[in-house]
Amino acid sequence: MPYPGEILGGVYQIIDEIGKGGVGIIYRAWHLNLQKYVVVKKIKDNYVGVLEARGEVDILKSLHHSNLPQVYDFLQVNREVYTVMDFIDGHDLKYYIDHGYRFEEAALWQWLIQLCEVLEYLHKHGILHLDIKPANIMLAKDGNIYLIDFNISLSGEGDALSGISQYYASPEQFRKWTALLYEIKDQEEALDAATDIYSLGATFYHMMTGVMPRADLNGMVPIDSFRLNYSQHLIGIIGKMMEPSKKRRFHSGGKIRDSIRKMQRTKEEKMTLRIVFFGMLLGILILLLTIGMIFYRNHHHAGEKEQAILLQQEEQIQQLYDTGEYEAAYQEIIRILSGSTEFLEKAEGAEISFLEKAADCCMELEAYAEALQYTQELLTLAEKPEYYNHAAIAAAYLGNYSEAEYYLEKARGLQGDQTEIDQTLAEIKASKGEYAEAIKTYQSLWQRDGSIGILRRIALLSLKAADSQPEYAELAVTSYEKIQSSQNVFYSDRMNLVTAYIKCGMNQKAISVLQEMQVLYPDKYEVYTRTAILRYNMELKKPPAERDFLKTGKDAEKAVQLYDQSSSEKIDEQIEMLRQLLDTLP
């Protein structure tokens, strides 16, 4: 059993135990190469050898879906077996049920569609989950939903049944489990996609009613018997998912998703008629308001002083953005937008300009919820294809693919630039983990215009793809090296090049880049932090008699010193690790 601080496989440093799952003990760990938290699961002893013998490691690592945690590794230490996957920062749905939360209908619709899409994805790959329940569905702090513990289903039907959660199990799964428990023969009923559909419906039943589903269906109160503050459409969908007979149940997640979208389109058509009616009544008022706005704008220009100040601020923000200082640019924009609205209104077009910059910065920072919010605000001011393209990308990375398709179609309808539309399509694919197709599209665009921005996307997507497909690490290296040789290289580009080198095992090259960065960015404590951690890991791989931690200690001391001198209020986990490391270094 690993202890806090132990490094498994030379890469995964155990932080603490965070729970026990259907398969084994769960730990939070720090991925020393990727510099992020991961989950390490110790598989129970009776599972040792099962995954490897069935070739399921490759199956798990090949799965890429925005609502599944990515599986990175499978390793055996002595006789203990571990799997490594994404760390989801949030709580499972059981936590919210146990604490008496009431779930809003809009959120339930969104989660239901996302979970149906992930089930359809798993089922198309021949994988049944067979243990769907609130404790196996995580709600991340960013609002995304994740289906976890899907790897238990890869150990065979018998093993999957041993981990059954009987209150959420389908009737056929419960019968099969009972037959195995009491050694009843001739129980040949097969489990299939409809089995997972029932369990997902039972999970939503519990979330909506607050009542635990019954294990054997005797005395089960139908969901439509409760007085619920939810639409009959939603209640009807869940009821059909929980039909005792598989023949009357939905047979796939795709069928549920299509049924939901058809229902939503019908509601939209009715709403359209209402909008047309009220639109006619409000037409004259809108026309008068528009004329008034034009008159107001034509007679309220900014004074020369205000105009000059805004122009100077825009130039400063643009300079920060052009040098890759997106966080600094964004903070300056927030300061301006949260100031006097009267000051902004005096300069024609100033508000739109700052909103555009805010959306661009959030996209670069991968703060997609904020980016979508700014873009939607821009769309209320002007309908431009580039706004719809940005909204489509942000929605896709938030997992709202139907919304992304809507925005993309609006961009096409406005005859947006084809290059921008191609980029949007590439980003939507990347948001789904389809990095190969996304990179291929960007490489085609690179051949067309050769812009550094396109090359930067190729490099970054290659780096992300390398987490599960190591062969992309070399493409990330060559792409970042091209950027490094250009006149438009950012701090983040150099840091990403370091990561790419490490993924390719080129640790000495990574050290060389970090040493250059110590000269270029002498006040960045993160550079010294990264150098210290990399040097430490390199020394650990040497025989004990050959280890020399002198340089590691110097870099660690410098990192801690710069951090303590900085005005940063955030607690940096890596700095705390370095403080502990300095106490233990010889």
User: What is the model's pLDDT at position 15?
Assistant: 92
DSSP secondary structure of 9-72: TTTEEEEEEEEE-SSEEEEEEEETTTTEEEEEEEEPGGGTTHHHHTTHHHHHHH---TTSPPEE
pLDDT band at 489 (very low <50, low <70, confident <90, very high): confident
> What pLDDT, on a 0 to 100 scale, did the predictor assign at position 326?
83
Per-residue model confidence (pLDDT) at position 325: 84
559: its two tokens? 């990192």
pLDDT exceeding 70 applies to what percent of the chain?
82
Q: How far apart are CA 85 and CA 88, in angstroms?
A: 9
Taking 50 as the threshold, does the pLDDT of residue 159 lie above it?
no
Query: Which residues is 138 bridged to in the sheet?
Result: 92, 146
Tokens of 318: 């643009």
The pLDDT tens digits of the residues spanning 398-408 come to: 888 888 899 99
**Among 324, 358, 363, 365, CA closest to 344:** 358
Q: What is the DSSP string of 93-151?
A: HHHHHHTT----HHHHHHHHHHHHHHHHHHHHTT------SGGGEEEETTS-EEE--GG
Query: Band of the pLDDT at 440, cuts 50, 70, 90?
Result: very high
What mean pLDDT is predicted for residues 472-496? Answer: 90
| Max Cα–Cα distance, the chain, nearest Å | 90
Provide the pLDDT for residue 300. Answer: 47
The amino acid that residue 92 corresponds to is D
Segment 359-373 shows an average pLDDT of 88
Model confidence pLDDT, tens digit, residues 210-235: 998 876 666 688 999 888 999 999 99
Instruction: Give the pLDDT band (50/70/90) at residue 301.
Output: very low
Residue 47, pLDDT above cutoff 70: no
Q: What is the pLDDT of residue 282?
A: 64
Q: 468 and 72 in contact (C-beta within 8 Å)?
A: yes
Rounded to an integer, the average pLDDT of 175-200 is 80
Average pLDDT over residues 265-290: 58
pLDDT of 427: 92
Dihedral angle of Cα 384, 388, 394, 395, to the nearest 10 degrees:
150
Which SS3 state, helix, strand or coil, does residue 192 take?
A: coil
Distance, CA of 476 to CA of 500 (rounded, Å): 6
Query: By mean pLDDT, which of 179-183, 189-193, 438-442 is the weakest?
Result: 179-183
pLDDT at 42: 84
- Mean local confidence (pLDDT), 123-141: 91
Average pLDDT over residues 19-30: 79
Residue 69 to residue 150: CA distance in whole angstroms: 10
Q: What is the pLDDT of residue 417?
A: 84
Q: Which residues contact 178 (CB under 8 A, 6 or more apart)?
A: 184
What pLDDT is attached to residue 343?
Answer: 52
**How confident is the model at residue 1, as a pLDDT?**
76
Strands 80-86 and 12-20: unpaired
Q: Look at residue 335 in the predicted model and tell me its pLDDT.
A: 81
**pLDDT at residue 135 greater than cutoff 70:** yes
Structure confidence at residue 299 as a pLDDT band (50, 70, 90): very low
Mean pLDDT over 126-153 rounds to 85
Does residue 302 carry a pLDDT above 50?
no
pLDDT confidence tier of residue 133, bands split at 50, 70 and 90: very high
Cα 500 to Cα 45, 403, 491: the distances in Å are 36, 33, 14
Beta bridge partners of 506: none
pLDDT at 160 over 50: no
Confidence class of residue 155 from pLDDT cuts 50, 70 and 90? very low
DSSP string, 517-565: HHHH-TT-HHHHHHHHHHHHHHHHTS-GGG---HHHHHHHHHHHHHHHH
- CA-CA-CA-CA torsion sign (345, 347, 349, 355): negative
Mean pLDDT estimate for the chain: 83
What confidence tier does 123 reach under pLDDT thresholds 50, 70, 90? very high
CB atoms within 10 A of CB 316: 13
Per-residue confidence at 176, pLDDT binned at 50, 70, 90?
confident
Dihedral sign for Cα 385, 390, 396, 402, please: negative
Any idea what DSSP says for residue 74?
A: E
CA distances from residue 102 to 204, 210, 225, 474, 561 in whole angstroms, order as listed: 12, 9, 18, 48, 47
Output the CA–CA distances (angstroms, integers) from residue 138 to 16, 167, 252, 368, in the order listed: 19, 19, 21, 19
- Going by pLDDT thresholds of 50, 70 and 90, the confidence category of residue 293 is low
- Which residues 6+ apart lie within 8 Å of 403 measured at CB? 395
Q: Say what the pLDDT of residue 448 is.
A: 83
